[in-house]
Amino acid sequence: MLICDEYLTLASLDEAFDAMARHRGRCRIIAGATDTLPWAREGRAGDVEVPVLIDVARIPELNARRVDGTRVRLGAAVPIQRFLDDPALAKALPVMPQCAIWFADDQIRESATIGGNVINASPAADGTPPLIAHGARVELAAKRNGRIVRREMAVEDFLQGPGKTALESDELLVGLDCEALPGYGASFEKVGHRRSLVISVVCLAALVKLDATKQKIEDARLAIGGIGPVPQRLTEVESFLRAGPLTAERLEQAAEMPVALVASRSRQEYRREVVRGFVLRALMTAVRNAGGASLLAPELEAAYA
C-alpha cells in the first residue's frame, strides 16, 4: 500500500522543482503510477509511507511530442498508447507501435509513460530496446541556483543496472530525443507467459533500411532486453549486416552473433535459444516490412512466422 500525507499535482516544471526542493528527502515523483502502486505491495516493497507524492503527469512540457524531419522529441509523460494512435509518431518511430501493442494491456498503456518505463530501469522493460534502436537520448533537468539546467545522455548510458540510473536526486527526466527513422522496416519480438500483462523474458527491437535495389541492408538497428542487467544495442550485428549482401545465410550468421551475450540471472539456456530465433525472425520481418523479398527457405520462413 502506498501511503502519503500529501499528494501534489503540479502544473509546471518550475512548480515541480520547487516542490522537490521543499520536500527533499521526503517525496517521490509519480507520473503514470502503474509501476509505483504495484511496487508498494506485499512481497515487493510492502507498505510504503512517503510523506509527499509529486505528480508530474500533467505538466505540459512532459506531455509534448514533436516530430521534425530527423528528430522526435517525446515528453517523459507521453503514454505508451500514443505510439499506437498517433500516426506521426508511428511513422517516425516505426518500431514503437509494434512494441506498444505487446506492452501491458490497453488500459495500462493509457497511463504508463515512456519516461516511467525508462526511469524504472527494469532489465526486462519493453520500451527501452526500441528507444535504444532509435538512438534515443534522455533529457534531464534540475533547478540549480534559481535556474533550470538541462543535460542529455544516451539511454544506454543512463541505464546502469536493475532499478539504477544516472539520475541525480534533484533531477527529473523530462523528455526523450529520438532519431526519426521513417521508411525503416521494423520488428519487435517479445516472449513471456501470455500475451497481455506479461514481463518480457526476452525482447528485441529491429529496424532495417534497404538500399534502392532492396538487395542490401543500408542501415540496421538492433537492441535487446531481458538477457542481462541492462538492455543493449547489438552494434556488432549491425555492422556485420551493413558489410555484406542480404542473404539467408548471412541472416543466420547474424542470429548466432548475440547468443553469447546472454548473462541473465536465470534460464540462460532457454534465452540463448530465444535470442537466436528472435534475431532471425526480427530481421526476416523487418526486411519484409522494408519492402525486401523473403529470404529464408519457405520451411524456415514458416517456422519463424
Q: Which chain residues interact with other proteins by CB under 8 A?
A: 1-7, 9, 30, 32-34, 37-38, 41-43, 47, 53, 55, 57, 84, 97-98, 101-102, 104-108, 110-111, 195-197
Phi, psi of 203, deg, nearest 5? -140, 150
Residue 166 beta carbon to other proteins: minimum distance, rounded to whole angstroms: 27
What is the number of H-type helices and E-type strands within the chain? 14, 14
Q: For other proteins, which is the closer residue by CB, 142 or 224?
A: 224
Residue 265 beta carbon to other proteins: minimum distance, rounded to whole angstroms: 22
- Beta-strand runs (E) in the chain: 2-9, 27-30, 48-55, 65-67, 71-75, 137-144, 147-154, 159-161, 164-165, 171-179, 185-191, 202-210, 217-225, 232-233
Q: For other proteins, which is the closer residue by CB, 107 or 215?
A: 107
Asked whether the beta carbons of 293 and 215 are under 8 A apart, the reply is no
Residue 186 beta carbon to other proteins: minimum distance, rounded to whole angstroms: 11
Q: For other proteins, which is the closer residue by CB, 147 or 194?
A: 194
Residue 83 beta carbon to other proteins: minimum distance, rounded to whole angstroms: 11
Residue 163 to residue 15: CA distance in whole angstroms: 26
Phi, psi of 128, deg, nearest 5? -75, -40
Q: Locate cell 538492433: which residue? A: 222
Q: For other proteins, which is the closer residue by CB, 110 or 218?
A: 110
Residue 33 beta carbon to other proteins: minimum distance, rounded to whole angstroms: 6
Residue 109 beta carbon to other proteins: minimum distance, rounded to whole angstroms: 9
Kindly state the helix (H) or strand (E) to which residue 181 belongs, with its residue range: none
Could you count the other beta carbons within 10 Å of the beta carbon of residue 113? 29
Grid coordinates representing 226 are 531481458
B/e letters for 3-30, b = 16+ CB within 10 Å, e = fewer, are ebeeebebeebeebbebbeebeeebebb
Q: For other proteins, which is the closer residue by CB, 100 or 174?
A: 100
Q: For other proteins, which is the closer residue by CB, 25 or 43?
A: 43
Q: Locate cell 540549480: which residue? A: 144
Residue 9 beta carbon to other proteins: minimum distance, rounded to whole angstroms: 6
Residue 102 beta carbon to other proteins: minimum distance, rounded to whole angstroms: 7
Q: For other proteins, which is the closer residue by CB, 243 or 303?
A: 303
DSSP notation for 144-175: ETTEEEEEEEEHHHHEEETTEES--TTEEEEE
**Collapsed DSSP state (helix, strand, coil) of residue 281:** helix
Q: For other proteins, which is the closer residue by CB, 102 or 184?
A: 102
